[in-house]
């Protein structure tokens, strides 16, 4: 089942959906610091991190899951640096203080919208 939860922008105009349920697996499309219109709502990197992970939580809760259900993250940082990695590590520790999910981090030149500096997608599982 594919869905676009209330509380997140309608992504269909951008050519995708937010959540796909495939058996016990839940795939969450790249979440970023999007506002109700799909455009980036905050400018700073750390603020974008916070809003992207908040949006990830909205997507997870829409199918009855939470952050503890996530076992894989893929993160994308524009102009990656040690300072940005440290900020990401702090946010990860907030949601997964004892055992974070596996993660692949990619430093990229740009993302879908020019204002985006961070994006995260996730794979979760129903237990």
The pLDDT value given to residue 127: 84
Structure tokens at 19: 């959540």
The pLDDT tens digits of the residues spanning 68-110 come to 999 999 999 999 999 999 999 999 999 999 999 999 999 999 9
The pLDDT value given to residue 42: 93
The pLDDT tens digits of the residues spanning 47-76 come to 999 999 999 999 999 999 999 999 999 999
Query: Region 102-119: what's the mean pLDDT?
Result: 97
Q: Which residues of 14-47 are buried (b: 16+ CB within 10 A; e: fewer)?
A: eeeebbebeeeebbbbbbbbbeeebebbbeebbe
Domain limits, the chain: 2-125
The pLDDT value given to residue 105: 97
The pLDDT tens digits of the residues spanning 20-49 come to 999 999 999 999 999 989 999 999 999 999
CATH architecture of 2-125: 2-Layer Sandwich (3.30)
Would you state the torsion angle of the CA atoms of residues 36, 38, 43, 46, taken in this order, to the nearest 10 degrees? 80
The pLDDT value given to residue 81: 97
CA–CA dist 127, 114 (Å, integer): 38
């Amino acid at each position: 089942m594919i869905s676009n939860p209330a509380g997140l922008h309608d992504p269909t105009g951008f050519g995708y959906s937010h959540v796909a349920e495939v058996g016990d697996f839940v795939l969450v499309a790249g979440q970023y610091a999007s506002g109700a219109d799909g455009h980036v709502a905050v400018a700073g990197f750390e603020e974008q991190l916070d809003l992207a992970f908040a949006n990830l939580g909205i997507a997870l809760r829409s199918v009855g899951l939470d952050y503890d259900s996530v076992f894989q993250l893929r993160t994308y940082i524009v102009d990656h640096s040690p300072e940005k990695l440290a900020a990401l590590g702090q946010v990860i520790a907030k949601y997964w203080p004892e055992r974070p999910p596996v993660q692949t981090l990619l430093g990229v030149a740009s993302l879908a919208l020019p204002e985006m500096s961070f994006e995260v997608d996730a794979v979760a599982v129903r237990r």
